[in-house]
Structure 1
Amino acid sequence: MEKIMLWEPDQDLRNALALYINNLGYKTVALGRATNFREAVELEQPLVCLLPVDLDKGTKVAFGHLDRKFDVKGVMSVILPEFVSDDSGELGPSGVVIDRISKPFGIRELADCLDKAMERKHKLVSSPFPWEQSLEVRALRNTGELKEALKLRYEVYREVGFLESSEHGLDLDPYDFKSTIFGAFITNGEQSELAGTIRIIQDTGFGLHRRQVAEVMAGNGIDPDAVEASVMSGSLPALQTFRLKQSDCRRLYTGFATDTSRSSVRVSTGVHELSRLVIGRRHRLNSAGMERRLYELVIAHCCAAAPKKNWFVIAVHPAKTRKYLRFGFQNISQLGIQAYIGIDQPAALMVWDLQRYLQLPNPFTTELDENIVEYNYRDSLVSAFPDRRVAIVE
């Protein structure tokens, strides 16, 4: 019998909910307080947890911190637990909020909520059929995938004349030390092919792939420590291209790099750069669909962060500015056109207030909550390929 774990301090309500849930055909594990909730989840392995906390859909929850971080509210959050510990091994299972239900609620409303939770769980844990082709977008996971991405970037940028020939056959860029690099993988059965990639460079600190970047550089006879030192104290390449400091962006775009978006949403003050978006030659016919999916991943990644990643710069080819205006980027036209640092590409500088864009008409907001849930649950987004939805037009 499938288990539902319930935490509800009010004993009468807890008993009533347990009775309702049992009558729906589930086994209820009911707790009166959050102490040892993590251990209870590990022991009972429930499919769904119901907690009296008010959390946004898609929020990642550390069960080991419930008693210290959350206040009881008039809302019940529906959470799918994950049974994978983090790197420290201290937090134990975590979960992702997939729905909320306001008190008081009736048996029919509760039943519908649990049915939707079970359906969502099934979709998240299901894999495509072996004969189906799918597209998975996610962060690169190992050195082998990083090499594939650097090779793909090199091939595409050589094709369009943005890079000189290199004996390594890889786009070895020092800013990868400060980057999170995402890939678009086409999967058919057990075969998987990297078809596209994009990266987010952060203004300070090391990126997700620091260790793998160092390994690839060392394997190609390059001193990773020297390369890393050359970029860690510098600004983002798009800002260097236009000889700007981060503070200059506030003058060019009011409110840039502050803790509040123009949409009044609280965000991180950090500045990031989107760059190295490439789609392999064999998959250009579906490039718009892949780009859309990569941007859906970027947006889910940024919105799932706490605080939200919001402020971006991007140096784009002048012919592409119209496309990025549709994404909500603002063109800083008074700066003119410059040669992008590190590659032979003319570039215009654009800035992005992501949360403001998401409150305007756009193709991403409709599915954003579901994408955040999926991203937080399995660290990727998976869809049928080719994507039959309306593509972003160049």
Structure 2
Amino acid sequence: MSQPKLLIIDDDTILGLMMQNIARPLNIEARYTSDALQFFAVLEQWQPDVVVLDLVMPGMDGVQLIQELARRRCRARLIITSGVSPRVLEAAQRSAVENGLSIAGMLPKPFTPDDLLSLLVPLESEPADNALARHRSPLQGLKADRIDLGRALDRRELSVAYQPKICYRTGAVIGVEALARWVHPELGMVPPDHFIVLAEQHNLIHPLSRQIFEQALDWLAGLEPEYGGRLMLSINLSALLLSDAGLPDWLSQAVESRGLSTERVILELTETCATQDVGGSLEMLTRLRMRGFQLSIDDFGTGYSSLLQLTRMPFSELKIDKSFVMSAMASHESRVIIESIIDLGHNLKLEITAEGVEDDATLRYLCQAGCELLQGYYVSRPLPAEQAAQWLREYRPDRNHWPARAG
């Protein structure tokens, strides 16, 4: 395992060097700069795991830095720091998350060494080189195009990673979410939010979806002797597929031909996608539910749809968007939204899952708030097929795999 890397940008030289010195005893390689141009040069060449970013910077402020990090599809996790008001800090964090960046935490100034240590200590136990998230090449600035994706589908280059979902009350693994992955032979890891949009724009979403469904169902069928029909499988469904009248037939056939039950498959749609064409969506979702499929509203709380429309849809699960979960311990507003969503879900008799659970404090808060189904790096990061199967075999609720159940 290589040494984790931390890159710091702050216009306060004394504070920047202090953060650098705090990281080193943790076996974290740290670099500091106060210059935006140097920051981006180091970012591209060095590929840090975590970036500490000060919002109030001369020349290029922190929000502009965040926008540029998003444009470059930075995979490092951000620690956002500043002496601005908590609401401004939270707004910057939401902006980062909405731009596809990952947040490790917020660090309001002034802060103590222990405040920073609490955010850095988890790096000691995390792999610095996550093969899925950090597979890069000198061509990483280039983007895959329609031809690349078509070729990848022909060659079946897309794979599936699996992220476990846990029930807090029992400690049991109740299911996994299947996540599409594409490692381009030259460009490296292509982010899903890029190639999924590419597929939707160029009429490739049907073959892409079929490949992901087939791989995920084959994987689940291979676990049957061990799990005996208990493990649920969640798969994301593009809104464009809802206009395909044959969707229920081919999905049902794909599931049942492998000896599986449709009741064990959860189809996830984002809140916005589910309500784009209310009439058409309602008919298709009803047909899928009639076939036995479970339906989940993903990223709930980020859309602007009418609650009346959502209550008309035959969903069985509601997933709280990770942007609220990841900021829950630092943001009163996020906690208010989370608790409102949980209350809504309970009243509608829906299963409720929180995505983006990354620490024990957040996990315990969610459980106290009434959310029992949890998914996130604190449970497990998304794993390739063989590693996911091994994780499931080795998982025991009464061991360190489930630290929140101790005590």
TM-score band by shorter chain is: 0.3 to 0.5
- Structure 1 or 2, whichever has the larger Rg, is 1
TM-score, normalised on structure 2? 0.39
More relative contact order in 1 or in 2 (CA 8 Å, sep 6+)?
1
Structure whose residues are more often helix by fraction:
2
TM-score, normalised on structure 1? 0.40
